[in-house]
Amino acid sequence: MSFLPKGELEPKDPKRPSNARIVIWVIGGGIGLYLIGSGLWGLLVH
């Protein structure tokens, strides 16, 4: 019994990650860059 969609179980190109994984990485990277940037800004301003 699998909860993953069929496209996730049988990817067309095994080297390419799924679209959902790409979206999660982009959002996570954006949040990480924002946190690092705001932290550096806080250090420079204060």
3 state DSSP class of 3? coil
The model's pLDDT over 1-46, given as tens digits with 9 standing for 90+, comes to: 556 566 655 656 778 889 999 999 999 999 999 999 999 999 999 7
pTM value is 0.57
E strands, the chain, where? Answer: none
pLDDT value of residue 6: 61
Cβ atoms of 2 and 9 closer than 8 Å: yes
Which residue type is seen at 28? G
Q: Burial letters for 25-37: b for 16+ Cβ neighbours within 10 Å, e otherwise?
A: eeeeeeeeeeeee
